[in-house]
Amino acid sequence: MIYCVVPEALEEELFDKLTAYYADDPNVTVIVDRRKSERRGHSDDPAQAEQRQTRDRRRPRVAGEFPRLDPE
């Protein structure tokens, strides 16, 4: 599914045109962005800011080494 997001300020100008343009493509849905603020609230509380941690989500490397390949 692909979402074509139209800003609320341009809804009158673009929404109908884009909906008609993508009418034949069932994988595209045209939507209007009606958010009024950011999803993550910014707190002025320093204690809460200290609690936030950024973590490395990558999987750790596998232990060991790869066998050598002959260049033939």
What pLDDT shows up at residue 68? 83
Distance of alpha carbon 27 from alpha carbon 1, whole angstroms: 5
The pLDDT, as a whole number, for residue 47 is 62
Residue 46 domain flag: no
> Looking at the domain assignment, is residue 14 inside a domain?
yes
pLDDT band, residue 17 (cuts 50/70/90): very high
User: What are the tens digits of pLDDT across the range 21-62?
Assistant: 999 999 999 999 998 877 666 666 666 656 767 777 888 777
Does residue 20 fall inside a structural domain?
A: yes
How many structural domains compose the chain?
Answer: 1
Domain that holds residue 2: 1-34
- The owner of tokens 């993550």 is 40
* Half-sphere exposure for 52 (CA within 13 Å, toward CB): 9
What is the predicted pLDDT for the residue at 20?
Answer: 97
In-domain check, residue 40: no
Q: Note if the pTM is more than 0.75.
A: no
Assess contact for 35 and 59: CB atoms under 8 A: no
Question: What's the mean pLDDT in 4-24?
Answer: 96
Cβ–Cβ under 8 Å, residues 28 and 46: no
